[in-house]
Amino acid sequence: MKANGKNKVLIAQNKKAYKNFFIFDRYEAGIVLRGCEVKSIREHNVNLKDSYGRIKNGELFLHNMHISPYSKSRIEDLSPRRARKLLMHKREINRISGKLIDKSLTLIPLSIYMLKNIVKVEMALAKGKALRDKRKDIEKKESEREIIRALKKFKK
């Protein structure tokens, strides 16, 4: 996948994020990894389900992201779901923390990808959807599908 003239290889996506949240602002962050976690990520052994970001002492951390241990490495004492530090500029972290406090938003990962052999995480400020909002989205998708079906029948 190419983006802005750079090689961008998608590793994993948080598909439930788009279903369960309204997405507002998006941010790109580097991630601090240990041992053979990069090799495991290259093999797509990552799960972003139920993961979230938190700011603690002016630093950004990603909690609950599961990276399976690399199969060909020696046994390490790394927890697959440990908190991982995200690398962003101090200004961006301060801006995000202000928005998190003011608008009752949450910080969630949307995707993890490789950009020139560097692992990046796309984070987003999001607000949870209520059940009625999810129903509206489902109704909208169904009506769009019906329109497309009708157009296909009309073209034949």
For the chain, the structural domain boundaries read 2-129
Inter-residue contact 15 to 121 (CB < 8 Å):
no
Fold adopted by 2-129: Small Protein B; Chain: A; (2.40.280)
Helix, coil or strand: residue 134: helix
Give the pLDDT score at 4.
55
Report the mean per-residue pLDDT for the chain: 86
Share of the chain above pLDDT 90, in %: 38
CA neighbours within 13 Å on the CB side: how many for 147?
6
pTM: 0.78
Q: What is the DSSP letter of 5?
A: T
Rounded to whole angstroms, the maximal C-alpha distance in the chain is 62
Instruction: Write out pLDDT tens, residues 36-89.
Output: 888 888 888 899 988 999 999 989 999 999 988 887 777 666 778 889 999 999
In 10 A of CB 34, how many CB atoms? 11
